[in-house]
Chain A
């Protein structure tokens, strides 16, 4: 049994929340840079230029890339031979968020309750997902998830007869109808199979994959490629004003499901792709 002090968790979460908000995923910025060559809309090109310029500026000046510094999403992979000492893991994570959002001049974007809607001012609580895994390590994944894109996410219970084509059509229609709201060019995290909540969790988890890396299952990887191609034919374009660059990458995660079910969830990520991870 290995022990990790709760204060260590707090320190690392604090650091990840600040750094990821100042420095968005460089792989995303590279993909936007590459997309310029294929963008035939002059407005679209202007948008892509402004996106890469903004990324460089936020990084250099150490200021938030986007004013929506997001709701804090944490996935914690807890090795079953790890013990957290000096406090509850959940409290340690939230304390890290509290300090990071205060010390990093990040926006408090969380209300205490969906009906009372009083801003907690320190961005707590985080949305935390736990998984128990083998080993004596604690791996923490952090994301700042902006709500323009999160609000354009969607879950549906398709019929098995809808099949692969139904999956593609559902996603393409959804991205088209979302227009400029999720701040395209977007990344699509898709959970396919499982149950409604499993699909939603998988869709979120898919966003943590290395950007553009295909699913190891070739059948799923092919689906990812077909979805990407179809979405980029909609013409939605950068910020929804028309163009060729609507989507940067598609990540699909699958899971076994009921004989009568085909659950699907799409979690949309904006170009402010703010992710970090650390192993303790």
Chain B
């Protein structure tokens, strides 16, 4: 298990290999379908994005409402493939990391390698457990999107697996081979 600080330093990104188990600590930003769509519509109009994604990590999540006294509700990853249409452009804007679940398209895997970025898989459905590792939450933008708004999170020892590393090695394309009968 590797302990990794966020945001990711370039040399840290380079050091990560497909299949590595990591615990992330530091700042990340939430964004899923609707926030991606709106951010890239802003960018297309030449308007500034509500967050500078350069050097940052996005977590694909739409949490449940927090119970009274809780920092956040349950908060596991959503299916990353739905963000594939937006991801190459986000990487061009400097995004260095993503956290979600499930495979990415060949175009996204290629873009991850070209931009020397990394895609982490969190364990889908384990949302109660993952929420425990989120220590601070701040609403940043698109409040009207509710659960899909952009939030700044501070996480501690947030467990993930390196699913696509900066050389484009992809666990969802290769992981099954050792176990297929």
Contact = CB atoms under 8 A, between A and B. Distances in A.
Interface of A: 40-41, 43-44, 46-47, 50-51, 53-54, 57-58, 61, 63-69, 105-109, 119, 121, 146-148, 151, 176, 179-181, 183, 233-237, 239-244, 270-272
Contacts, number: 160
Interface centre among B61, B76, B121 (most CB of A within 10 A): B76
A35 B119 CA distance: 28
Given A57-B129, A64-B73, A179-B102, A151 B124 contact: no
Contacts of B147: 107-109, 119
B64 A69 contact: yes
A58 B124 contact: no
A270 B125 CA distance: 8
Contacts of B62: 67-68, 107, 109
B121 to A, nearest CB: 7
A63 B128 contact: yes
A47 B79 CA distance: 16
A65 B131 CA distance: 10
B168 interface: no
A71 B124 CA distance: 17
Contacts of A176: 176
Interface in B140-181: 146-147, 159, 161, 163, 171-172, 174-181
A64 B128 contact: yes
Given A63-B128, A107-B63, A181 B102 contact: yes
Given A50-B159, A108-B146, A181-B103, A240 B128 contact: no
A194 B156 CA distance: 52
Nearest to B73: A105
The dominant DSSP class at the A interface is: loop
Given A63-B131, A233-B180, A242-B177, A51 B79 contact: no
B125 A180 contact: no
A72 to B, nearest CB: 15
B179 A180 contact: no
Given A46-B21, A57-B132, A107-B65, A67 B176 contact: no
B109 to A, nearest CB: 13
A51 B126 contact: yes
22 contacts: A43-B175, A51-B123, A54-B125, A54-B128, A54-B129, A63-B64, A64-B128, A67-B62, A68-B78, A105-B65, A107-B63, A148-B124, A179-B172, A181-B101, A233-B180, A233-B181, A235-B181, A237-B179, A239-B101, A243-B175, A270-B125, A271-B125
Interface string B52-85: 0000000001111111001001111011010000
Nearest to A183: B124
B74 A180 contact: no
A213 B27 CA distance: 46
Contacts of A146: 125
